[in-house]
Amino acid sequence: MLSTGPDQPRLDGQVVVVTGGSTGLGYFTSEQLARLGAAVVIAARDADRAERASRSIERHVPGAHVQHVPLDLGRLDSVHAAGEQLAALPRIDALVANAAVVALPDWSKPRAERGHRPLTTADGLELHWGTNHLGHFALVAHLLPALLASGGRVVHVGSVIHSRVRQPADSLPLPEEPQSDLAKYARSKLAVMTFGFELARRLEAHRGETAGAASSVVAHPGTAVDALSPTRAIAVNQPDVNPVTRTLVRSFAHGKHRGAMPLVTAAASPEARNGDYWGPSGWKQLRGEPTRLAPHASALDPQVAGRLVARSEELAGVRLPL
């Protein structure tokens, strides 16, 4: 477990990129990494929100160094541009691939119509898979040479819901499939995790040649909610929740500042190793202190992972340099 106390390893001089670092889980991940001394690069769509997040981090972490690079993971042209900009940095020591989209049901529609919306990325791919997996895949491909050079880490943010997916990770969901948005989100997270473990295998196979000490680690935040998170004067949803509801929610969830801790552990702790999977230690992995976990077997099939990487390279228009 990694806290941000004085006895924890410092990250002074290191540069960490956090996608979606301007709000929610990504914000608290960025703040905690800055508290450990890392220079944080927030990669996010909304420049105004990223600027406010940067100012908030600087208020809560005196001396913090934060900058912003525009990134829309739902547009491959934006991913390629951000990848080139980030790759030009003097160094990158870690990438926390945190940003994700999850479409919520449209409660204004009849029940039979919910979850059947053909949501897509700008490139015409199913929204969740195209953003959460493919966008990050393309970004990792761009930044991997820099991470190899620094012996850095890629942290892939998965979800406990990956164990409920019945399709193999290399199956590309179609926008028009009659499947709920939550199911499509789960499929995207299985793809994220399958790629994370495949990258770890490739790094291990090339260790000492081109891979050096670089590592690939998967982590998940459990059930992290805004209602239990500390207040920040930025664009973060802070709902007004009554004490009874807050107590009930606390029984199965924790705040996003707590959900960020497995991600920070995966990115910064010397205890985290190539191929690890970190998440909360509590009941059903919903909340608790960070601990090393075992993923569902569906995320560990190397043949499926190989097909996933090949398909992702084709769709993203960029090859994984390993």
Domain boundaries of the chain, sorted by first residue = 15-316
pTM metric for this prediction: 0.92
How far is the C-alpha of 23 from the C-alpha of 20, rounded, in Å? 7
DSSP3 helix / strand / coil % (the chain, rounded to 5):
45, 15, 45
The CA distances from residue 296 to 146, 193, 211, 271, 277, in Å, are: 30, 10, 26, 22, 11
Give the pLDDT score at 43. 98
How far is the C-alpha of 38 from the C-alpha of 4, rounded, in Å? 12
DSSP state of 9: P
For 176, residues 6+ apart whose C-beta sits below 8 A from its C-beta are 118
Residues 151, 284 contacting (CB under 8 angstroms): no
Q: Is the dihedral of CA 39, 45, 46, 49 positive or negative?
A: negative
Whether 277 is catalytic = no
Catalytic residue, from 129, 137, 185, 278: name it: 185
Centre a 10 Å sphere on the Cβ of residue 260 and count the other Cβ atoms it contains: 28
Tell me whether residue 227 is exposed, middle or buried, using C-beta atoms within 10 angstroms of its C-beta: 0 to 12, 13 to 18, 19 or more: middle
Give the pLDDT score at 5. 42
Give the pLDDT score at 6. 41
Give the pLDDT score at 26. 97
Instruction: For residue 128, give the nearest of 38, 189, 212, 56 by alpha carbon.
Output: 189
Residues 38, 18 contacting (CB under 8 angstroms): no
Residues of the chain with pLDDT under 70: 1-8, 104-117, 210-211, 234-246, 249
Give the pLDDT score at 4. 47
Spell out where the chain has E strands: 15-19, 39-44, 66-70, 94-97, 153-157, 215-219, 224-225, 254-255, 277-280, 290-292
The CA distances from residue 305 to 96, 100, 171, 199, 263, in Å, are: 20, 20, 11, 9, 22
Residues 52, 31 contacting (CB under 8 angstroms): no
Buried/exposed 192-203: b ≥16 CB within 10 Å, e otherwise? bbbbbbbbbbbb
Give the pLDDT score at 242. 65
Q: The domain 15-316: what is its CATH number? A: 3.40.50.720
